[in-house]
Amino acid sequence: MRSRRLSSRLWPVDGVPDNPDAWLLTIARRRKLDDWRRDKVKAKSADHLALIAEELSTAAEMEEEIADRRLALMFACAHPGIDVSARTPLILQTVLGLTAADIGARFLVSPGAMGQRLVRAKARIRDEKIPFLVPEKEELSHRLPPVLASIYAAYTSGWMDIDGAEALGQEAIWLASVVVSLLPQEPEPKGLLALMLYTEARRSSRRGPDGAFVPLDSQDVGLWDRKQLRLAEGLLREANANGPTGRYQIEAAIQSAHVARRLSGISNWQAVVSLYDVLGRIAPSPVVTLNRCVALMRIGQVDAALDDIHALARDPRMADYLPYWTARAQICADLGRHVEAAEAFTIAIGLCWSEAERRHLEGQRSKILC
């Protein structure tokens, strides 16, 4: 709406651009990025921690068992008296400083809905006088799931193309390493750290010399960080030997299958499909289904992938989820459904914040329109 109001002011003066739809998408994308940055500034100055900051600070200062103060705060926020669906968002906002918009994007929830979830959680903390005390070490394992989910959400935020994002990713890796040291008998912290290290090892290969986005299958394996990959594989082996297999171990195994290309020269997409089948049983979600669709496409089961993509379209959360539209565009393009593919690419371009990834998507769309 704001971009259309802007067009009504500028076009009579500057003339209608050659591609009005692309102009509107560009303005909308820039507005979205500006809003994100403005929200970040507001978040730093807003007193959204007033209700619990003093208790958290006191609890962390009294805690000697946990070496990292932020991690102590995270375990304090994972109190069993807080609603399960609010624990991870509360940690992300209170300890790691993410806004409701940032957190909502991680959970496929609108900023307004996430904001209300956080408000209700804080009201419950106040009304029920839930104490913020760092639990005893033997209790930490029971509070582990929301802490690990928060660390991973922070890490994925660290892949955004904005200032400070990479540093957030590095902080997440550090926090995971502290959890591994604190709870060496737990397999999932090792699985999470392995998952992040597998991903981090490829960071430098995601951009070409000219800054262009490079998709996974086209990345130069010589640029992958071998030390991080060795650490990841060692952690994953330890995690798998420690006990029952959890979500992060499976996700780390998926990344291991991807990076196997550095040894064999080919990606093991069949293994990826099988691992997503397992992950779908352990931790079902539309994101898991979507990623499995992409893997199905890679092994030639494009029709099955399209059926699943169309089924996902019934989920309203997919309407503004960039990976959904990117996957839909690629699958439709592979099937020769060029009109549908171009439409999906256009929506994906409008949702994309990364300039490099946007140019990549525009290039993909141009290929099918030629």
Q: Which domains does the chain have, with CATH numbers?
A: 46-154 (no CATH), 285-370 (1.25.40.10)
**What pLDDT is attached to residue 233?**
97
CB 357 within 8 A of CB 213: yes
- Amino acid occupying residue 276: Y
| CA–CA distance, 131 with 125 (Å, rounded to integer) | 8
How far is CA 173 from each of CA 149, 155, 189, rounded to the nearest angstrom? 13, 7, 11
Question: Where is pLDDT greater, at 35 or 249?
Answer: 249
- 323, with CB counted inside 10 A (0-12, 13-18, 19+), is middle
DSSP state of 207: B
User: Measured between alpha carbons, how far is 208 from 205 in angstroms, rounded to an integer?
Assistant: 7
Q: Give the pLDDT confidence score for residue 164 in this predicted structure.
A: 62
pLDDT band at 226 (very low <50, low <70, confident <90, very high): very high
Q: 290 φ, ψ to 5°? A: -65, -45
Q: What is the pLDDT of residues 268-322, one digit of tens each?
A: 999 999 999 999 999 999 999 999 999 999 999 999 999 999 999 999 999 999 9
Q: Mean pLDDT over all residues of the chain?
A: 85
Give how far Cα 300 sits from Cα of 268, 305, 331, 334, 335, Å: 13, 9, 10, 9, 10
Q: What DSSP state is assigned to residue 134?
A: P
Which pLDDT score is estimated for 234?
97
250, with CB counted inside 10 A (0-12, 13-18, 19+), is: buried
Determine contact, residues 224/205, Cβ cutoff 8 Å: yes
The mean pLDDT of 53-73, rounded to a whole number, is 63
Does the structure show a pLDDT above 60 at 231?
A: yes
Pull the structure tokens for residue 304. Answer: 């099955």
Contact 178, 128 (CB under 8 A): no
Question: What's the length of the chain?
Answer: 370
Question: Distance of CA 128 to CAs 81, 85, 261, 343, Å?
Answer: 9, 17, 53, 50
At 30, list the tokens: 């820039």
Amino acid identity of residue 220, one-letter, is D
Could you tell me the maximum CA-CA distance found in the chain, to the nearest angstrom? 69
Which residues lie below 8 Å from residue 135, measured CB to CB, with a gap of 6+?
75, 76, 142, 143
Q: Which of 133, 156, 32 is nearest to 76 (CA)?
A: 133
Name beta bridge partners: 213.
Answer: 207
- 292/165: higher pLDDT: 292
The two three-digit tokens of residue 61, written as one number: 């200062």
DSSP for 289-341, please give it.
Answer: HHHHHHHHHHTT-HHHHHHHHHHHTTSGGGGG-HHHHHHHHHHHHHTT-HHHH
Taking only the tens place, the pLDDT of each residue in 93-147 is 988 888 898 899 889 999 999 999 999 999 999 999 988 788 888 899 999 999 9
Task: Name the pLDDT band for 265 (thresholds 50, 70, 90).
Answer: confident
Say what the alpha-carbon torsion angle 189, 190, 194, 195 is, to the nearest 10 degrees: -30
DSSP 70: H
